[in-house]
Amino acid sequence: MTSRLSRRQRRRISQGVQYALFVAALVLVGVLADWDRLQNQFAQKDLVAELFPEIITTALRNTVVYTLSGFAFGLVLGLIVALMRLSSVAPYRWLASVYIEFFRGLPALLILIFVGVAVPLAFPGTEIPGGTYGKVALGLGLVAAAYMAETIRAGIQAVPKGQMEAARSLGFSHARAMVSVIIPQAFRIVIPPLTNELVLLFKDSSLVLFLGITLDERELTKFGRDLASQTANSTPILVAGLCYLIVTVPLSFLVRRLEARADKAK
């Protein structure tokens, strides 16, 4: 009987079985879960009201500031490291390779702790400009730059070599051709992965809580944890998670649209 079925029929049967199992799993969870306890622990309306507007004006604002500052620093440093990686000078290439492997191999949490603790110990009396915001920008930026450098390098190498040759034939120096012709085209190519890196940084900003920040410097995760401890209820954590989704889901959708547009352009 099975041998008489066509490949399309077997695929439809397989998909039907998978859908049925998925629906059965949802029904099972819906039946077995204690929704009253979940609601009491994660969905207290009175607690939700108490979170506003501070969760937006302080927590979300700080999260966005930490993310954008780290991204900006990482983008500038990543471009420099990418150019060093492509340099004809061997020591530059070696230094860039060591940097990339080092900071891609360590968790962002360790880098933030190093910036917040080890740097002041190593250089007594030295203050990182911007206080906590400067430390976060430096810590997140150092990690982001290692990933962005490889992304930008790939984008530069993806630009047709004829573009550089055409620019040089017009009398451009190598540096001017790189700045005016190659790098702008490379950035158009790498916009989707850079946007994805922005999403990752937005989530990594939750690690800032390990720096011992003040109440006014709290980001979403720290804000949610503090309020959850004070109220002995997890509703603030759930609301903080929803705030992350409000930002990351549209950005992820934007990444997919940009990638689809790039594929069509090819």
Q: Which of 197, 260, 258, 239 is nearest to 48 (CA)?
A: 239
Integer Rg of the chain from CA: 25
Residue with tokens 């302080």: 58
pLDDT for res 4:
75
pLDDT for 81 beyond 90: yes
pLDDT grade, residue 242 (50/70/90)? very high
pLDDT grade, residue 265 (50/70/90)? low
Q: Which of 38, 54, 68, 67 is nearest to 224 (CA)?
A: 54
pLDDT grade, residue 1 (50/70/90)? very low
pLDDT grade, residue 34 (50/70/90)? confident
More confident residue, 126 or 110: 110
* 3-state SS, one letter per residue, for the chain: CHHHCCHHHHHHHHHHHHHHHHHHHHHHHHHHCCHHHHHHHHCCHHHHHHHCCHHHHHHHHHHHHHHHHHHHHHHHHHHHHHHHHCCCCHHHHHHHHHHHHHHHHCCHHHHHHHHHHHHHHHCCCCCCCCCHHHHHHHHHHHHHHHHHHHHHHHHHHHCCHHHHHHHHHCCCCHHHHHHHHHHHHHHHHHHHHHHHHHHHHHHHHHHHHHHCCCHHHCCHHHHHHHHHHHHCCCHHHHHHHHHHHHHHHHHHHHHHHHHHHHHHHC
Q: In CATH, what class is 44-264?
A: mainly alpha
pLDDT for res 266:
61
Tokens of 119: 């740097």
Give me the phi and psi of 131, to 5 degrees please.
60, -130
Query: pLDDT tens digit string along 171-184?
Result: 888 889 998 999 99
Residue with tokens 């959708």: 253
Q: What percent of the chain has pLDDT over 90?
A: 63
User: Would you list the domain boundaries of the chain?
Assistant: 44-264
pLDDT for 43 beyond 80: yes
